[in-house]
Structure 1
Amino acid sequence: MAVACLEMAGEGDTPEKCRGARRRRIEMCQFVSAAEGASPPSSRRTGKRQEAFRESEPLEGQTAGNEAPLPTPPANSSLVTTSSSSPSTVSASGGEPGLPEIASSSRSAPAVVEPSVAYGTISLTGRSREMEDAVSVWPGFFRPQGSGPLHFFAVFDGHGGYHVAALCKDWMHVLLAEELGREMAAATEEEDMARTRAAVGRSFARMDELALAACACGKIGLPPCGCERSGIESEIVGSTAVVALVGVDRVVVANCGDSRAVLSRGGQAVPLSSDQKPDRPDELARIEAAGGRVIYLNGARVHGMLAMSRALGDKYLKPFVISEPEICVVERTAEDECLIMASDGLWDVLPNDVACDVARRCLEEADQSRGAEDVDGGDATAGGREQEQASDARCSLAAVLLARLALARRSADNISVIVIDLRRK
């Protein structure tokens, strides 16, 4: 599947890079020019946490943003089917209950399972100093018995550092597949949805335990490793998580934080998640009931520091900031067009309906091009492959256009976008 990764041009760019950037600007100029004309006045958004709590500068010899080596997750080839005793690719260690063991096997490519799904992704550093977002896509990562495959999509927006978002990217789909395997092995059709919700909730809880046990240097375990980065630098790091499981008949979205998933259905934008902000009435009541405070300092913040009320990690703000996700389940319909998942670098400057309109137009252009090609006839198999490639390309183009539009509207944060084609083929 196509994945695009761009970064802001700097003063050290070579002439070849500048010419390439100029060509991309020429291709996008018509769309971005129109977007800038409709852009709101420029305003720089404050960070998710106060500057005093930003991640410290990297140690000598390390690269900012992605500085620490992370454990390699186990191969996922055994995650596609379920059985009465699901394969324990991530098992709890005897001395550290709840924490996954670090397997030494290398990652394998996701299993190719039909029906396929078309998608496109993009991640931009944007105007932020560091890249703290992560995107995870695993098509066909799990197949319930007697049902079609589930496709895994997730956006993780880190704050205070990168290592929790990177850890989520490597482990969330592994933990979720294991929990689904345990639940679905004994589930009846009536219990299916309840057990899915339970599996998603437990996978988030286990992911949070893993994030809390991880040091900024990349080591995982209890007690902490004791290195010079194991103190406050590790405790102030966290990440949002918006996860979508796309199946044949339904879409399950789990959200923790202020990243967002929006469904385009029948020309309308349908939010599948709600931003978990400290001043949301129910979240404010929960925080205060736990003994916490919401202080308005450049916006509502938990204890004046974190601009969201739920996240993975953030050890120093427990128990006020929790990792329990809000889960939404929708049945797929013939009117579904696409699902957009993105970090708040997009949603802070782009309304849901505008984002859906941009993505929908990109997919409609693909349909028009495909219709013109069908008139000419040709080999059906080759045509099917070309159609899949065209759908991937259009989803990627939609993701790129959304990210460029966010930049045109002066987004000050990292921007990560996934566009998933949900139309019935």
Structure 2
Amino acid sequence: MAGKEYDWENGAILEDHSRRKHKILREYIFDYLLVRCSYGPRDRFRIAIVDGFAGGGRYRCGTPGSPLIFIEELKRAVEQVNVKRAAEGQKFIEVESLLVFNDASPTAINLLRDNIAPVLAEITESTPRLHLRVEYLNEFFESAYPKIKESLGQGRYTNVIFNLDQCGDSHVERNTILDIMRSYPAVEVFYTFMISALLAFLKKNEPEMLQERLKHIGVSTVDIDKLSSIMSRKDWLATAEKIVFDNFRLFAPYVSPFSINNPGGWRYWMIHFANVYRARQVYNNILHDNAGQQAHCGRHGLNMLSYDPRHDDQMLYLFDQQARDSAKQQLIGDIANLVTNVGGAMSVGNFYEVIYNDTPAHTDDIHSAIIENPDLEVLTTSGGERRKPNTIKVDDVIKRKSQMTFFPLFDRSKLQKDD
């Protein structure tokens, strides 16, 4: 199913869903760079950023598109990191970035060159510790990918971010995403698509699975027109999210299946793939900073998709304060169950690795739920006890206390359901 192409020649219109995606992307890139560059003895950081559907750089309203967002946030992060490092007596860090911008439209690429040129010139003058090299490609992404992969290999880049914000839903093959995730140790992918693409794939390849997944909402055959009539239904979103997650969870250790919160329905998914839990942790926190921009339908605790849409009551998790309050109640029981099931103790780092593909929760809420649980304690490497959520470290140990209360051993959501 093809999407509506942007009219870059006459000035592309920035739609609401793109504005929302861009805000999340901007804040994530900045936080990513702060985390990677703020600490440690390193004096150089190298990163490649690939924008597979780059567009013309600016919309009709003058708002920057994703290529300029990447450049602006690289500049802002390098300046802030070095101010911080100077204040702490650390050496300045040099950031070297390869930017690969591809678009199938010759008009878009020509406009992009014109829009980026003055920005690059300004950075050369004002930010000498940021070194940018830009490559432009004018092809369909699948045709351009082998060249992109060769360029990244020649540059020996291990830190790579792909932004695959396709216009439509059929311009990126699933095998390409899998290849990206397997080719670079520290890679992340932002992948946008319409849910109809996945449903069409399932219709062709797994009809029995799809029929089983959708029969509880009265859809016996997958037809895009029929799906459009129920786009805003909560049960539709719940089912779609499970389909998205089940089909993409094998691509990467950490997959975010949350949908873009559109006023007219839930048509777009902005999937985030990552190989390390820290990336998913940061992404969850960014979504909470942008409450209402994305949505999750299901449980709010550790097992976010462990429900049956035919029976369980669904709640939208919009990453706002109300959702966070609800999440904390589920987290208290879920975390106690997890620690108990693994033998009564686990390192915080191991805990993160286990949970972060199965929770939409904010880090602060997870830490608070641990500290507030009367049956758990967090011990430092020297044997001391953590008493505040914001002091928990990755090498601490979460431990079950020897004397426990009764109810945290059980899943509170199940107890409430049985009542």
Structure 1 length as normaliser, TM-score? 0.27
- Which is helix-richer, 1 or 2? 2
Structure 2 length as normaliser, TM-score? 0.27
